[in-house]
Amino acid sequence: MEVLTEVLARIEEEKIVPVIKLERPEDAVPLADALAAGSIGIAEITFRTRTAAESIRLLRRERPDMLIGAGTVLTLDQLEAAVSSGAGFIMSPGFNPVIVQACISRGIPIVPGVNNPSHIEAAIQMGLGVLKFFPAELSGGIEMLKAFGSVYSVDFIPTGGLHAKNVISYLKLMNVAACGGSWMVKDEMIRQGNFNLIQKLSAEIKSSIAAELQIL
């Protein structure tokens, strides 16, 4: 429980969770350095490529101060690979009770995806208090989160359709702990080795968050 609390507190402190697809493990460290130079100390490495586990393992070894999580975890095999590689937290696009229970049983921080009351109530029943709202924009966006906030005492990490122009509006909601996005780490930026642009976009959004939310 202490680990879970610490991880969720770190995510809330960061405010932005870059959602990353890494095709080449050798891009992992330069990418992490670009994010860190832009004041982002967290990364969600998605299991949408075969190199996800290797990239997580590399980052845990080379950049231990960065909080590295695994995203798009859909199966128990992927969960095992993520945990074995040193992932500090797990995110999934949907609410899979098997994955959620496996994480809870092992004390692994899990933020499953939800986008309707039934999923939220199932998550609450399993003792979860922070949930991923996905796909955020297609599921009603800010207005849907406001509606959830009037009923449920849980926090959300909206992901899906977020970008530099709308993320601040999400973060201003009382029931949003942080936001996930990939606009600062687009596939082509990583593929082309454009880490300077990643650093620039990361710094810009963190600066905007600090100014808009008055975070020192």
Query: Which residues are marked as active site?
Result: 44, 132
**Residue 47 host element (H or E):** none
In angstroms, rounded to a whole number, what is the distance separating the alpha carbons of residues 135 and 159?
A: 6
Rg of the chain (C-alpha set): 16
Closest alpha carbon to 160 in 92, 82, 90, 75: 92
Q: Token pair of 8, please?
A: 């969720």
- The whole-angstrom separation of Cα 48 and Cα 55 is 12
Structure tokens at 73: 């975890």
Task: Report cis status (omega within 30 of 0) of the bond before 117.
Answer: no
Given the DSSP bridges, would you call strands 130-133 and 113-114 parallel, antiparallel or unpaired? parallel
- Is residue 47 within 8 A of residue 83, CB to CB? The reply is no
Q: How far apart are CA 103 and CA 105, in angstroms?
A: 5
* Cis amide prior to 18 (ω within 30 degrees): no
